[in-house]
Amino acid sequence: MNARILGLAAFAACLAVPAIAAVALSDAAGSYTISPSGSSIRFTIGKAGGGGFDGAFGRFKGTIRIDNGDVGRSKVDLTIYPESVGTGQARIDAFLRSDAVFDAANNPEIQFRSTSVTRTGDTTAVVTGRLTA
């Protein structure tokens, strides 16, 4: 079960930054705030034979700092509040918040903290880090 939680949270973290045209990392240098007002963390869980459901996390916060001089010193920090998970289906929401999945009552935060950032191109980098869920 933990592997699924980590996979979901890692995928969700990748979606936290809004999609925009690729900009050279050196031109994007600076600090950015990740918040529900300008970003979204959405997910889809498929089901064998079709169907499945979509959902989102309504509460999260974080920062991205891109270091112009050394992209390797850049940082990403993201906190997701699992009690804010929503699919539009009360029964599924309750299951996701329960101790069978997120255990939101006892684990109120999912955190991602980068441990390294490696430039892979002029406009791309791989962010590696610790996901705690």
Domains of the chain: 2-132 (2.40.128.110)
- Per-residue pLDDT tens digits for 108-121: 999 999 999 999 99
Which percentage of the chain shows pLDDT scores above 70? 84
Residue 50: partners with Cβ closer than 8 Å, 6 or more residues away: none
Q: Across residues 63-84, what is the average pLDDT?
A: 94
> For position 34, what pLDDT does the model report?
95
Q: How confident is the model at residue 21 (pLDDT cuts 50, 70, 90)?
A: low
Distances (CA, A) of 22 to 7, 25, 74, 78, 90: 25, 9, 17, 21, 38
Q: How confident is the model at residue 48 (pLDDT cuts 50, 70, 90)?
A: confident
Does pTM top 0.85 for this prediction? no
Distances (CA, A) of 8 to 72, 85, 117: 26, 12, 21
> For position 11, what pLDDT does the model report?
45
Tokens 């889809």, located at residue: 44
